[in-house]
Amino acid sequence: MAKHHRHHHRRHRRNPLGIDGSVVKDVAYNGAGAIASLYLAGLLGQSGWLDVAATAGAAVAASFAGKYVGGASASEELLKGGLLAAFFKAIKQTGLNVPGLGMYSNAYFPIPTSSDAYGRTSAPMLALPPSAKGVAGLGYQRYRSRYQTRF
C-alpha cells in the first residue's frame, strides 16, 4: 500500500511594499510636527515672511518638546515635519506655482444653513406642521425619528 505524503503549506510572511512599523511611526511624527508647528505659528498671528519664520521657529520648539517626550529620533522627525510645513509656506509666499499644490489654500467652509444669496439666514430648513386634532398621521409624529423615544 502506498503511503500518502502530507504536504504542509508553509505560510510565509510577505511585505511587498517594504513598509514596516518604523516608517509608519516616522510619518506619524512628521505629521505631528507639521500640525504642531502650524498651530503654534497660528497662535502668533503673523503674516508674510514673518509667518514662515514663525512656523520654522515653532518647528524647532516642537522638536525640543518632542525630545523629552519621545527621544532623539522623535525630535528629529518632529523637526522634519515642521520644517516641511515652513517650506510649503515659503513656496506659497514666493508665489511659485508648483504643479499639484495649486488647489491647496485656506478656505472658509460654513455650516450648511438655509440662506439667501447675500448670506442672510432665513427660516429653519424644515418647518414642522401644526398638530391637527382628530386626524391621525398629520401631526409632528410623522416627522419624528423611529429611534427617538421621547415624544
The string of pLDDT tens digits covering residues 31-45 is: 999 999 999 998 988
| Residue 130 predicted with pLDDT over 60 | no
Q: 68-81 in b/e burial notation, b at 16+ Cβ within 10 A?
A: eebeeebbbbbbbb
Structural domain including 82 reads: 22-94
Q: Is 101 inside a domain boundary?
A: no
**Which residue did the predictor score with more confidence, 22 or 30?**
30
Residue 64 is inside which H or E element, if any? helix 49-70
The string of pLDDT tens digits covering residues 78-101 is: 999 999 999 999 988 887 766 665
Angle CA 34–21–71, to nearest 5 = 55
For residue 116, the tally of other CB atoms under 10 A from its CB is 8
Q: Is 36 inside a domain boundary?
A: yes
Q: Is 60 inside a domain boundary?
A: yes
The pLDDT assigned to 126 comes to: 52
**Which residue did the predictor score with more confidence, 135 or 12?**
12
Give the count of domains, the chain.
Answer: 1
Q: Is the pTM of this model over 0.85?
A: no
Q: Is 115 inside a domain boundary?
A: no
Q: Is 66 inside a domain boundary?
A: yes
Is the distance from CB of 30 to CB of 76 less than 8 angstroms? no
Q: Is 2 inside a domain boundary?
A: no
